[in-house]
Amino acid sequence: MNNEFYKNLEKSVSNERLSHYFTIFQTEDKKIIIRKYLLNIELSKSFYLPLQKLETTLRNNIHTTLSNQLKNDNWFEISDFLTNDSYKKISEAKNNINKELTPGRIISELNFGFWCALFSKPYDQKVWNKYTKLIFPNIPRKYATRKVLMKKTNLIRKFRNKIFHFDTIINIKNLFEIHKEILEMIYWLNKDVYKLTIAFDEFEYIYNNEEKIIKEKLDELSKDNQ
């Protein structure tokens, strides 16, 4: 990689962000750093589909189940059903919608944090003791508890936030385990969505073929700049 090409790439990234990679990988080799930086982007991209399918499928399963069981598409407006914080998020979601306030639009506007909050203790009796198998039709019995599901969703939520805040994930040691957790939860929610996700999933290929994916492209681009 020629120096001019690297300098031009460096201008598009903050020195602070790149220095983070110097610290992680204990090297000042600029070729390695830029490859690791780009690999982090590729790995983050590979998680977009699994995270998106998990979030939308979880949201829709909960909404469909509660709408049917409570016989109310606006179940999120039932008095004393949600916590005060959740009602606040419903209100914020409504304020962000510039169209007719339909249940579908309100549900779509709610972020992943709202749905993860439904796994907290106040919803033990209202939701999980009654409807776990309806929301997660393929979940093994030993995992079908609110506490287990809360632990898994919070792990995924924190990881998701790192992805969507363009944070570093390449240094996370249990990336494979997190990837597995996401796919597993998708399977518990919907087998067909799981099949679709794994058909397009590229995480392992990207992780295991760093040199092929990153180095060859950079070397070719570097030649073009000579």
Percent helix, strand, coil in the chain, to 5, is: 75, 0, 25
> Which residues are CB-contacts of 218 (< 8 A; sequence separation ≥ 6)?
1, 31, 34, 35, 38
Walk along the chain (226 residues) in steps of 10 and give the mean pLDDT of each run: 65 72 81 84 95 97 98 96 96 94 96 96 96 98 96 96 92 94 98 98 90 76 60
pLDDT, position 224:
55
What pLDDT score does 110 carry? Answer: 96
Which sequence spans correspond to the domains of the chain? 3-46+209-224, 48-75+112-205
Q: What is the pLDDT of residue 32?
A: 81
Distances from the Cα of 1 to the Cα of 6, 7, 59, 109, angstroms:
7, 10, 45, 44
The predicted model scores a pTM of 0.89
Residue whose structure tokens are 């080799």: 29
| Token pair listed for 216 | 């060859």
